[in-house]
Structure 1
Amino acid sequence: MSEFQDQKKKMAKKIWGIAALVFFAVGGFLLMGITGRKTEISPEKASRPVKTMTLLAPEVTFRRIFPGKVIASKTAELSFRVSGPLVELPVKKGASIQQGSLIARIDPRDFRIQLTNAQSALSNASAQLDAMKAGARKEEISALSSKVSSAKARLSEAETDYQRMNRLFDEGVVAQVDLERAKTTYEVAKGELNTASQQLQEARSGARVEDIKAMEATIQGLKAQVEAAQSALKDTELRAPFNGIVAERYVDNYQSVQKNQTIISLQNLERIEIIISVPEQDIMRIKTYRSPSFFASFEASPGKKYPLEFKEITTKADPQTQTYAATFSMPYPEDFIALPGMTTQIEIVGEGETKGTGDFLVPSIAVVPGEDTKHFVWIVDEKTMTVHKAEVSLLSYKDDMAIIRGGVNTGSRIVIAGVNYLVEGDSVTFFNSEE
């Protein structure tokens, strides 16, 4: 009986062992299924790129200094309008010349000959026209009358001879060739009389109207040739169109040059221009300051400031520096030589529109209308890179800028582009050059 019980116990242990193995196998399989399952992660909202500005301490007086560079306000590339060899070239690179000064001269001899020929042809044509309008002189008419009389006498003689030859030919006394010779002489004499009579008639009545008009047209053409020759002769001299400095000389004396070939580059000495690069935030400030003043200082004239006139500013920022090119002008200084490429310092001073210590000047597009008459701006939390509303008081507008108070502090970073697409807590990234 005890042996049977021992076998029974052994059988039970085996069954429990198999069951345990099955349990752990199934459990492991289930565990692998759970751990091997991919965790579904809900996609995060993409950060929105925005343009921002950092609020600076309000200023009653604005003063900024920018490095600048001198440029010529006017540059001319001078050339001849005619071709030929140079015989004079007195200017050198860097020389200062006055308006009207000789820069270069082309050999004028051929051009003088052309002018003389044109003037001579015009004089001859004018004399002919005068004669045509005045008619022939008395002695000329007398000579033509004598010519007509002689022609009549020759014609009468030739006619008599021709008639006599006809009778003799009919009688068979002369040959056919003699008759033909007499006929030819008669025809020539008749033609000479017609010509002489026409010349006498023209001399007595003057030239025909159409002949006079034709000669007048010829004279107009000759006058144009004379004017062209005079201009060509004048164009053999190249003179300065304004006071300036010879920035470059491209040819040498005695060299043959072609028309429109650049001889020198002349830069204006009456005024100079200065160009600077201005960041966007300073552009925003300068636009709203009352009566800004501009001054230039040069190393060549230490301790002296030169008033400037604002000329223009580009409307598109440089893609590399995100700055705007502003151009100023001033009269050419009398106490030193200012050349293009020289460096200078530009000082801009203005009285601000903001009066209170908590007033800030911002682009008007940064101010968003809220409920009722409230307004707000978006402030960027730079630690979390998220945006939050800040209610502000809108004091006034000036052009495309706004003056606000409250809700922001010096150093606050506000969104100035893309404000209408934001909601509270949005993640943002920067894309402006301030970062």
Structure 2
Amino acid sequence: MSKPLLPSGGMPGCVLLLICLPLLSGCSQEAEPEGSPPVRPVKTLVVESPDLGGERNFPGRVDAEAKAELAFRVPGTVAELMVKEGDRVEKGQVLITLDATDYEIQLRNAQASFERAQNDFNRAKELVDDGFISRTDFDAKEAEYKNAQAALERAQQDVEYTQLKASFDGTISQRYVERFEEVQAKQPVLAMQDNNSLQVKVDVPENIIRGIKPSGNDQPNAERAPTWATFDSHPDQRFDLTLREVSTRADRATQTFEVTYTMPAPTDFLVFPGMTATVTADLSRVSVGERVFTLPATAVTADAQLEPFVWVVEESAMTVAKVPVEVGRLSGSSIEVAGGLEPGQRVVVAGVGYLAEGMKVRLLPQREQAQPRADEVPSS
């Protein structure tokens, strides 16, 4: 039987392996000094200065300043139609009349009942004074007289209610009935509106609503963005708008607030309710207040007390620091934050759960960095 071959020097291979292992282990320990803090790569985003100023355009909807749907207080048959759609009318003008025959008969009946009750009451006053009737009988005659008087007044009103009159100066925008048609009480028969003064309504996002209506809006000198309207048919003409009201409840679908302006109607061309306009707000005159930035939702975390914060990179020392923030609306993968951020700061947007205060970090290569968002906007 032949003997196994040995390496040079006559030492078995297994013995050489055991000797080399401690040497290799010692080399790996020397490559990373014991106790040095880890340097964690981070993905960041540079917060850019948001732009509040400039002109913002919004689509507007035109509506009438005063509008109403008119109805009769009594039922009946339409006898006369004095107006048609588009007619200008004055306050108090008769627009439609009902056949008043039945109501006139009721009025004559109520008049007769009232006269009889009045005569009985007058005789009762003489008799009770002379002691010929009891006080109880007199009270009954007095009650009959007052009931007859009320019935007469109601019958007179019913006759008056057969005439529908204009509530204000305006234009007939729509007519719902025709002559000889039966109508019920409180059934709309006409719609009218005042086109001399118009409303323009726009939907404004929450990030600039405070610029349009500042917190000091109850003061006469409160700073407010100048706003005007233009129409496609006359784009060179501007119409100054006056702020009327701002909704304090956001639309559930669009998360916008409805703002209502007023303006006088143009004199050289027609603008009807239902038309559209372009509303422009000049926000350059509105001072910037607290800034609101939109960041990826992954940039925001919370401490043990559930207070939200973000990690900001101190680029001079390449360490991270905790900055408390206030969170706002969450939209998809983005969230609005405000409070401690300033333009130019670098915020960690990924891996925030592995960081600690003062931890050394290094930035990922530029191709892996998050690009600044274009939708960072302020709230004033």
Provide TM-score, normalisation by structure 1: 0.53
1:369 CA drift (Å): 11
CA RMSD across the alignment: 4.6
1:70 CA drift (Å): 1.0
Match of 1:215 in 2: 141
Matched, 1:274 2:206: no
Match of 2:151 in 1: 225
Q: 2:77 aligns with which of 82, 85, 91?
A: 85
Match of 1:324 in 2: 256
Query: Structure 1: how far apart are the matches of 2:142 and 2:68?
Result: 42
Q: 1:407 aligns with which of 344, 362, 365?
A: 344
1:303 CA drift (Å): 2.8
Corresponding residue SS for 1:82? coil
Match of 1:100 in 2: 92
1:86 CA drift (Å): 1.2
Q: 1:259 aligns with which of 185, 193, 207?
A: 185
Match of 1:345 in 2: 278
Cα 1:341/1:132, change in 2 over 3 Å: closer
Q: Is the 8 A contact 2:78 2:98 kept in 1?
A: yes
Corresponding residue SS for 1:407? coil
Match of 1:362 in 2: 292
1:300 CA drift (Å): 4.7
Q: Is the 8 A contact 1:288 1:401 kept in 2?
A: no
Match of 2:13 in 1: none
Match of 1:306 in 2: 239
Q: Is the 8 A contact 1:391 1:406 kept in 2?
A: no
- In structure 2, the gaps of 5 or more residues are 1-44, 216-222, 314-318, 326-336, 356-360, 362-367
1:264 CA drift (Å): 1.5
Alignment of 1:8-407 (within 5 A): 55=48, 58=51, 61-135=53-127, 205-269=131-195, 271-283=197-209, 286=212, 290-310=223-243, 311-313=245-247, 315-319=249-253, 322-335=254-267, 336-350=269-283, 351-354=285-288, 361-362=291-292, 405-407=342-344
1:84 CA drift (Å): 1.3
Cα 1:317/1:121, change in 2 over 3 Å: closer
Q: Is the 8 A contact 2:72 2:186 kept in 1?
A: yes
Query: Structure 1: how far apart are the matches of 2:48 and 2:91?
Result: 52
Cα 1:81/1:284, change in 2 over 3 Å: closer
- In structure 1, the gaps of 5 or more residues are 1-51, 136-201, 381-387, 395-399
Provide TM-score, normalisation by structure 2: 0.60
Code of the residue aligned with 2:156 in structure 1: it is Q
Cα 1:55/1:277, change in 2 over 3 Å: farther
Match of 1:193 in 2: none
Cα 1:241/1:286, change in 2 over 3 Å: closer
Instruction: Spell out, residue by residue over 1:236-291, the C-alpha distance to the aligned partner (whole angstroms, 9 max, x if none).
Output: 01112123332321110122212122201223435422222334444466566942
Instruction: Spell out, residue by residue over 1:336-381, the C-alpha distance to the aligned partner (whole angstroms, 9 max, x if none).
Output: 43212211111111324359xxxx93259999999xxxx985689x
Query: Structure 2: how far apart are the matches of 1:327 and 1:423?
Result: 45
In the comparison of the two structures, how many residue pairs are matched? 284
Please say which of residues 245-254 and 310-319 is displaced more in the overlay.
Answer: 310-319
Code of the residue aligned with 1:312 in structure 2: it is V
Query: Structure 2: how far apart are the matches of 1:315 and 1:203?
Result: 68
Instruction: Spell out, residue by residue over 1:366-424, the C-alpha distance to the aligned partner (whole angstroms, 9 max, x if none).
Output: 99999xxxx985689xxxxxxx96899x9xxxxx966954534xxx8998xxx9x8665
Query: Structure 2: how far apart are the matches of 1:98 and 1:298?
Result: 28
